[in-house]
Structure formats: structure tokens, C-alpha cells
Amino acid sequence: MTRIIFDLDGTLIDSAPDIHLAVNLMLSEQNLAPLDLAAVTSFIGNGVPNLVRLAMQARDIDLAKHDACVTSMAHHYDQVNGRLTQLYPGARIALEQLQRDGHTLALCTNKPLEPARQIVNTFDMTSLFDHVIGGDSLPQRKPDPAMLLACLMNGTGLYVGDSEVDAETAERAGVPFALFTKGYRKTPIEQLVHSYAFDNFSELAAIVERFTNPPD
């Protein structure tokens, strides 16, 4: 059977509304105007420190305050995590089917580990994943391949993600990549290196089957 590694934000869950809320609560502490959802969504993918840096730059905040702003945003996100976040349609059904079929599943996300575990627990998905690696689990973050390779546990498998960061991570790790096209990607699909692409989780089982048992 196949080991399948999933990104989280923009792949299994649409967490942008909660992240947007936390960023704007951080900005409100600076007496600054909020950012719109599209802007904050475009910042997602490279981890919280990078997201906060981009938000600060958008509101001309002195980057000397970066550490304090990261702490503030993380605090607010801990308070709102799961309030507005939703699973993408069909994601849970697909995960449960893959597990029933004997595949092993893991999470590889740049979201810090504790918020990642919190949202997985909120959606009662803890039993679906045998391993979760967050953005603070290792010294490296995606697109460095170390996180993905750690999830693979010296084996082979398929990586499922939604973004430019995920595509680069898979390419650098030498791992086949299945691109979920309804996430936070900004680059045209054809410009991202991928082995498979899908826009509905009902398609994922067939992709895994093709990966596991490629045609002659």
C-alpha cells in the first residue's frame, strides 16, 4: 500500500478566514487598518513568520517589531483556530476511504505543530494520520524537502498539496506530487511541476490507484 502525505492549509482545510481574523487582530493592536481576505490568503504557505512579515510590509510596520508581531498573531490564532475554518468538500470521505484501503496517511504542514494538531482534533481526524510534522518540528520548513522526507520515513509515497511551496517541496524531495487545484495556488497549473491534478476529492482515490498500480 501507499504512504500518502498531505499538506493542510489550502489542501484539506480552508483556514484562510481564521488566519485573516488573527492577522487583523494583530494589526488592530498597532491601530492599523485591516487587510482584506484575498491579501492575507496570498500570504499563506511559507509559515507564520513569513506571513506576518508580509502583513507587516503591507501596512508599513517596522520589521524590528517582527518577533512581537509573530507572537501576537500566534496568540490570536490560537484563540480563533477552527472558528471559521472548514474542511474542503469530500476531504474527510476521501481520507477515510484511503485509510480503509490500507494506505497510511501523514500531515506535512508549515503551520506550527500545536495549531495543526488542534485543528486536526477539532475535525476529529487525529486517528487518520500516523504522523504530523509542523513548521516548527524541524529546523527547516517547506520548500526545504526535510519535512516531507521525514514524513516518508525513508520510504516512498505520494505528496498531496495545493501551492507553489508544495510543488517545489515535492520536486526537491523527488516525490510525485498531486496538486489540489482549489487551494491557495497563485501560479497557473501548467507552470507547476506535478504528476497529477484534481479539483474534487472524489478523484483522489483513482489518483492513488494509478500511482500505486501504474499502467504497463
- List active site positions: 7
- CA 118 to CA 51: how far, in whole Å? 20
Phi, psi of 14 (to 5 degrees): -95, 95
Residues 6 or more apart whose CB falls under 8 angstroms from that of 100 comprise none
State the DSSP string of 54-113: HHHHHTT--GGGHHHHHHHHHHHHHHHTTSS-EEPTTHHHHHHHHHHTT-EEEEE-SS-H
- CA 156 to CA 208: how far, in whole Å? 13
| Cβ atoms of 189 and 166 closer than 8 Å | no
The set of cell numbers assigned to 211 is 500511482
Q: Cell 524537502, residue?
A: 145
Query: Is the bond leading into 143 cis (omega within 30 degrees of zero)?
Result: yes
